[in-house]
Structures are given as structure tokens and as C-alpha cells.
A and B are shown apart, each in its own frame.
Chain A
Amino acid sequence: MTMLAADNDFMIKGLFSYELFGHTLWITTSHVALVMVVIILIGFAWIANRRIKKAEEVPGVFQNIIELIVEKLDQVVSGSMGAFAGKFQNYISTIFLFILLCNISGIFGLRSPTADYGITLLLGLVTFALIHINGIKRHKIGHFTSWFQPLPLLFPINVIGDLATPLSLSLRLFGNVMSGTVMIGLWYGMLPWFMKLGIPAFLHAYFDLFSGAIQTYVFCMLTMVYIRDKME
């Protein structure tokens, strides 16, 4: 039982509670990490906006970095969405930077907000809404009749397949980030002190940086593939 007491280190912890309409709600570590990520992103965007308004012919270091980020993201979006890229560049770029920053925030000692199922489920539901709103906008009633293709008999399977999309998207992101958080938490919580010198750096590099970047890319790519699939 003593071992199980140490491992609550990496679970979501409530910081303080408040009452709202008779329910007790908690401000948790996810909220704090989320607010920090959002503040950093907004601050970066504000500084970048000010800098790009008085852009120079020969870009300096900071302007170069901004241009690099925007160009790479635009390249990724137009590479996988083709003709539909224009409408989605802003959204995909935003969600890419947000998830990336959330995933790598574990390096800075925060508990990654994406290791909280509430947040990944919300991202999955936004993708779900985007898929179907754009499908209905483009094909009108044809969006619904496509469920009966190629056979009317396949209607239930098509509907279940559509409903499973946000679930599998959100569970994939959550499971990957959560497994990294759990493994690093177990390493810190259960081993003697000399195992915590130097070795966690490799764990952080793999689970936070590498895995986090891959999962960000996968989430954005799958979102684009699903949207494009319904629009064609």
C-alpha cells in the first residue's frame, strides 16, 4: 500500500473548489497549465503581430522564425487538403500550435493539459462538428444520403463509423500523452534517488518532445483527412 500512495503524483489534482448552482467544482492542475499555455500563445501572437506590421525587406531573426512557422504550417495544410486548404489554414495552424505547446509543457514541470480527457474530447468534438458542418455546406442533402451508399443495409455501420471518429481521435491523443505522463511519474515516484540523475532527461526527450510532436502532427493530419473525405 505504501507504493500506491506515491503514485498519485501524476494524477489530476484539485487546487481549490467553488460552488456553482449547487455543484462543487474544482480548479485543477489542468486548468492552470491550460491558462499558462494560452497566455504564452496569445503573448507570442501579439508580439508577432506587432513585429510583422512593420516588416522589413530583409527579415531579422524573429521575423524569420515567424515566417518559417507560418510557411511550414501552410505547406502541411495545402499538401494534404489541396483545393480546400484556404478555409482551414487558420484553424489547423492554431490547433497545431496549441496541442504542440500542451504536449511539450510536461518538460517545464506542468502536468500536460492533453493528459486530461476533458480537453482531448473537446478537441475531438470540434473536429466532429467541422467535418459535418462542412459536409452539409458542400453537399446539402447529399451528405445524409451518403450514409446509404453503397447499400442501404450499411446505414448503421456508416453512422457508427462517423460517431467513432471523435472518440478514437480524442482517445489516441489522450492515451499517448497520458502514458508518457504515467511512465515519467512512476520513474520519479518509485525509484531510489540515484536513478533520478540524468536518466529522466531521455525520458522527457522521448515522451514529451518526440511523442508529443508526432501526436500533434497525427491529430492535425487526421482532422484534415476526415474533413477532406467528407467534402469530396
Chain B
Amino acid sequence: MFTGEELILACSAIGAGLACIAGIGPGIGQGIAAGHAAAAVGRNPGARSEITSTMLLGQAVAETTGLYGLAVAIILLFVKPLT
């Protein structure tokens, strides 16, 4: 059987994997932003640079929630707060 510390380590690894599921949301959100930006450039090619910078800004804000999940996963795996 597992001893206490091994069990906690295994569960931390599983928890880190689950925390990375948070990457789904930003993926979808950034894809939508990029798709609409592509459509906007198609409609108005002159405004390309402004559209690109607006898109990057929006994507960066949408990315934040995914990074929270990543931070949780990294803390679980490498800082090991529970053991």
C-alpha cells in the first residue's frame, strides 16, 4: 500500500493534470478572437495593424484564467505544498 507521502504526491500529480484542463477555455476564446480578427482584416485590410494589436490585447486578457490553472499545476508539482 501507499504511505502517506506517496499518496499525496500521486494525488498532487493528478490534481496538476486536472488543473491544466483550464487551458480549454482560453484556447476557445483566443481562437474566436483570432477568427474574428481575420474576418475584420478581410473586410478592411487597411486597418490591419490596429486590428492585430487589439486582438493581441484581448487574447492576453483572455489567457489569464488559463494561466491561473497553470500556476496551480506548477505549484502542486514543484513547490509541493501538501507534503
A residues lining the B interface (CB < 8 Å): 7-8, 11, 168, 171-172, 174-176, 178-179, 182, 214-215, 217-218, 221-222, 225
Q: Which residues of A contact B57 (CB under 8 A)?
A: 218, 221-222, 225
Nearest Cβ in chain A — how far from B28, in angstroms? 18
Nearest Cβ in chain B — how far from A81, in angstroms? 13
Q: Does A172 lie within 8 Å of B53, measured CB to CB?
A: no
Q: Does B60 lie within 8 Å of A222, measured CB to CB?
A: yes
Q: Does B56 lie within 8 Å of A176, measured CB to CB?
A: no
Partner of A214, one of B56, B67, B70: B56
Are A218 and B64 CB-contacts (below 8 A) given A175-B70, A179-B70?
no
The contact sample of 19 A-B pairs, CB cut-off 8 A, is A11-B78, A168-B64, A171-B64, A171-B68, A171-B71, A172-B60, A174-B71, A175-B70, A176-B63, A176-B67, A178-B70, A178-B71, A178-B74, A214-B60, A221-B53, A221-B56, A221-B57, A222-B61, A225-B57
* CB neighbors of A among B42-83 (8 A): 53, 56-57, 60-61, 63-64, 67-68, 70-71, 74, 78
